[in-house]
Every structure is written in C-alpha cells, then in structure tokens.
Amino acid sequence: MALTRTVRTADREDTAERLLASAARSSYDPALEIDWDAPVPADKYGMTPEWSSLYGTALWESMSERQRIVLTQHEAASIAGTGIWFEMILMQMLVRDLYRRDPATAYVQFGLTEIADECRHSTMFARAAQHFGIPSYRPKRWIRESGRLFKATASGALAFGGTLFAEEILDAMQRDFMRDERVQPVTRTVSRIHVVEESRHIRYAREEIVRRTRHLSRTDRARVRLQLGISAYFVVTSLVHDDVHAAAGLDVAEATAAVRTNTHYHDRLREGTRRTIEFLDDVGLIGGPSTLLLRRAHVL
C-alpha cells in the first residue's frame, strides 16, 4: 500500500477557485437542455446493453429484443434511483461540513455550488424515469433507513469516500451511455450533463479524502475502512432493483440467480470501480474486514 503522502493535492482554496471557474463555464439546466417532450424511440436501449445485469447470460440470449430494451430502460431508472438516494445523503453531509466554515472562502462556495448541482441532478434523474413512464426505483426500505444514520454521522474521509464510490461508478457507466448511439437520446443527454458536472465533484472529493486521511490514527483508519466498505457494498448492490426483471416479463427468482453468477456483469463493476479502489488503497482506506464486503459486491 502506498503512503498517503504520495498522493498530491493542491491548496484547498486554489482547487476550489478553479472548480468555481469551471462551474461558471460548464453548468447546465436540465429543464432547458433536455427535450422532455420528445418521443421515446421504440428501438433504443435505456442504457448501454453491456452494462445490463443480465448481459452475457443464457437468460439474456433467450430474451426478445423488446424485453432487452424494456429491461435496460428499467435498469437505467434503477441506477438513477440509487443515485438520487445517495445524492440526498451527500447533500446533507456537505451541509454539515460547510455549516461550521467561513462562507467567504472558495471552499464553502464551491461546496454550495456542488449542492446546487446535486439538486438539479436528482431532479433530472427523476424526470428521466418519468419520461420513459417508469416508476421510481429506490433501495430497499431497510437500506434507506440505515442510510439515515450514515448521513447524520459520517464526516471527513468517510463522508467523502462514500461519495466517491457512488459518483465514480455512475461516472464510468454514463461515459459509455453518452457515447452509445444505441441508447435513448434523453439517457445520453442526461449522462453527458452528469459526467461534465460530476467531474468537478470527483476532484473535490478526492482532494478532501487525501487531506482528511493524513493524520488518522490506526484505530480511526480501521473504523473508516470498515464503514466505507459497508456503504460501498450497499451502493453497488442497490444499483439494480429486483423489480426491473419483473417489468421485463422475467421470472424474478431466475433473473436474480442469473445476476448472482453473471461474471460479465461482475467484471463490469470491477472495471467501473477500479480507479476508486486504486485511489482509496493509495490513501490507506482499503483493507481489513471491509475487503470481504468489497469482494461480495464484486469491486475487488
């Protein structure tokens, strides 16, 4: 494992000023940028099919093309629903962090800018599901309730580390979605907006993680590793709701079993979180019992 000090960061205020300038140049209003009244093409996937939880399985091969399209539309909505859930958690953690700081600083002003971005993103994700006539998908209720404790208590490296897991897996997926001409136009535009704006949030989170892990004690580092592993597990395993398979006319038990053994999907998850895992390992936040959970979530 590399030492934390080997990961470089700029001065906090310098970074925040650059991110504020980037936000001024490249921010989007989804209400204006997206044609929410556009017709839904019947022959376009909801997302890149290779990201489907069933792609590469015998069950996928047995499905009709229409079933595949419906499944990917519902999976995209489920992924977005998990994104909304964690963005709400992120916004509350950011507010708590900024509450005690000087609002005249660029650091606080960019934090407030990020919160505004996340509000628009959550609304955009919800409207995208509505555009396709898909109900809201959310993580299981007990996971949402457990998230109340996390958002009320997580701070420092834990808060920003959990944020990074959620942001970077979505970023990896959406970079594929936005370039894929097989995918619905609205999905591609939503993905492009999110990728552009989220790149600032990822930079912000990464640098804060480095700053806030430098002086962690051995006990605190072990605690953060474990809690981070738990939060990452629930984010990744909540991406695809069981009900998406029923919506495509599939047997839920059969589909769930196929997902559980789908090595193609697991490889995609590992590749989508590879940069996150490498970074967190570099700052000493991967290790101990949490690795068992990360392996079960197929990100290690």
Residue 234: pLDDT above 70? Answer: yes
3-state secondary structure the chain: CCCHHHCCCCCHHHHHHHHHHHHHHCCCCHHHHCCCCCCCCCCCECCCHHHCCCCCCHHHHHCCHHHHHHHHHHHHHHHHHHHHHHHHHHHHHHHHHHHCCCCCCHHHHHHHHHHHHHHHHHHHHHHHHHHCCCCCCCCCHHHHHHHHHHHHHCCHHHHHHHHHHHHHHHHHHHHHHHHCCCECHHHHHHHHHHHHHHHHHHHHHHHHHHHHHCCCCHHHHHHHHHHHHHHHHHHHHCCCCCHHHHHCCCCHHHHHHHHHCCHHHHHHHHHHHHHHHHHHHHCCCCCCCHHHHHHHCCCC
Instruction: Express each pLDDT in 89-144 by its tens digit.
Output: 999 999 999 999 999 999 999 999 999 999 999 999 999 999 999 989 999 999 99
Instruction: Express each pLDDT in 247-278 by its tens digit.
Output: 999 999 999 999 999 999 999 999 999 999 99
Instruction: Express each pLDDT in 16-32 by its tens digit.
Output: 999 999 999 999 999 99
pTM: 0.92
